[in-house]
Amino acid sequence: MSVTTLVFDAYGTLFDIAAPARRAAATRPDLAPIWPKLSEDWRRKQLEYTWLRSITGAYADFAQVTADALDWAMEAQHLTDPALRRDLLALYDALDAFPEVPETLRLMTSRGLHLAILSNGTPAMLASAQAAAGLTGLIDTTLSVESVRIYKPHASVYALVEAQIGAPPHEVLFVSSNGWDIAGAARFGFRTAWVNRSAAPQDRLPDGPLHEIPDLTHLPRLIV
């Protein structure tokens, strides 16, 4: 059975999550030596908090999780400026897309595929990010964990694809830059493509990617 539906993770796959700290550092010399660590800690705690909240049943939406993670990351770097916090959160709502994303999405649409986002982000966050990155109109369906109130890689999140789009798992190619997300999607039954932008080792998890690509320019060759 051929692929009919491409489902993309959003953060780190379509959108550059390092952009907020990097852009803030461009106008704040004090951030220049620390912004990579600030960004790394922010992302790490953001993911950890989604997993811990899922395990403990203490759901909070992704906007709250993102703010909480930033607070931790800023404190770790001894940053206490409320204006910087506001600026970073605003920049997170206006993320850059990776350079190849718009043209790749257009090409996939021209092949008759249904394009969807499946993300931990809230609907408002995802709409804002798509608008800021110029992707509005290139994605057919945007799915958020808000409707099930638990985070990836819980199976109920991946089940949203068939429930809301009608595509059975074997017709879906799930695309993500996160190895743990790929593992969850593969275990659910999706075909998977891991976007390994940093040439990282593959996660030691039971279900690995069907495909591994360095960026989305390689995606078209996977659709046959």
Catalogue the active-site residues.
Answer: 9
- Residue for token pair 């999607």: 185
Would you say the C-alpha torsion 208, 11, 122, 47 has a positive or negative sign? Answer: positive
Element (H, E) at 130: helix 123-132
- What tokens appear for 120 in the block? 């931990």
**Is the N-terminal amide bond of 153 cis, ω within 30° of 0?**
yes
Question: Which residues in the chain belong to E strands, given as ranges?
Answer: 5-8, 114-119, 141-144, 172-176, 191-195, 211-213
